[in-house]
Structure 1
Amino acid sequence: MIESYLTGLVVCGGIIVAIGAQNAYVLSQAIRREHHWWSAGLCMTSDVILFTLGMFGVSAALMAMPQAMKVLRWLGVAFLGWLALQALVRAGRGREALQAEGGLGRRSVKGVLFTTLAVTLFNPQVYLDTLLLIPSIGAQQDDATSFVAGASSASVLWFSGLAWFGSTLAPVLSKPSAWRVIDGLIGLMMAAIALQLAIGGL
């Protein structure tokens, strides 16, 4: 039981920590302290649901519908490309009005949650990891429930850490020059992920 839990914690932790669009978005929300705990909480919930569904055989159904994965891939490319463009434009123009505590550009909880959900669900890699890769490892464990619990714990720890550290460092990173660097890095990261998805679909 403990061994299965630790396996889930370590394996899923390694996969989740890999910087991706979801992580970049949650971190950017945390730095500007804009409903970041809502965003992190949605990511945790999504992971727990997908881990559980994967272990109950949804991965087999997904494999039987390759067209669904293709549609998700190109939706992801378009959405991530749009986010990258927005971030790069902000990096070029700067945004003094957007401070760590929010400001004129502050969005609603609904807007933040919608974007978080889109970043999560429009990324085919999320399904490959949570519905295929992780369940394939979990199926080899003695206790599948403990494995899912370990995987879920990794997600909770990681996104809680992003939300907490990002908001804690916000005063340091709230200067306009820092925002331009942050937006530039996030834009390049989103663009690289979108390009990787597009190349994989060709």
Structure 2
Amino acid sequence: MGRKRRSLAYRTASQRVRKWNAKVKGDLYAMILEDVKPLALERFAPYQVTHEWLISLVKNIIGKYGFDHQITQEYMWYAQRLWYLTQRYRSKALQLESDAIFVYYVYRGRSETLLREIASALGIKISSWDNIYRRLGMSEEIIYKGTKRALKETLERVATDTTDVDITYDAEGKITEILKYDKVTGAKKKITLEYDAEGRLIKKIEEWIT
């Protein structure tokens, strides 16, 4: 016969905390820290030079465009993440990882111009949107159809809505701006439409106006 299995012991959170506290001795960790501290210092000290350089780089780029310095830290985090990538990856892997971080910060509302320039200063050329969309399986045709459908839905809402609507056209008769005014709440919503050189709708921007 095989050996009888031991029953599993389930501990509560408080039991695990007490167990950890009994095992961890301050004097033991002090001895370990004493041994590893010189090794950590060898890595910590050189990075401080890099850290100062990254701070200066980000501040200089932001200063050129006059952006709010209160969000400097977000661009600093972006620069740090890209710098770490340059220490770990090369070639295609570096490109893919850098593009992913770039898209994340664009999604967070950070300036595409600043993000690309910071990356360039670190020796990274962020891919064009066409290449990024292609990797995501989003061809130009799909984007165009999606934007066109969004415009159609917007115009249908405009036609059936009871709110006041002002529509602005360009010289060629294409709609460039739709301003909706809610009579009840007083809220204003502006919808801006952008077209490419061939007159195809490529972007729809919606924003509330206070």
Scaled by the length of structure 2, what TM-score is found? 0.26
User: Which is greater in Rg?
Assistant: 2
Which structure has more relative contact order (CA 8 Å, sep 6+)? It is 1
Scaled by the length of structure 1, what TM-score is found? 0.27
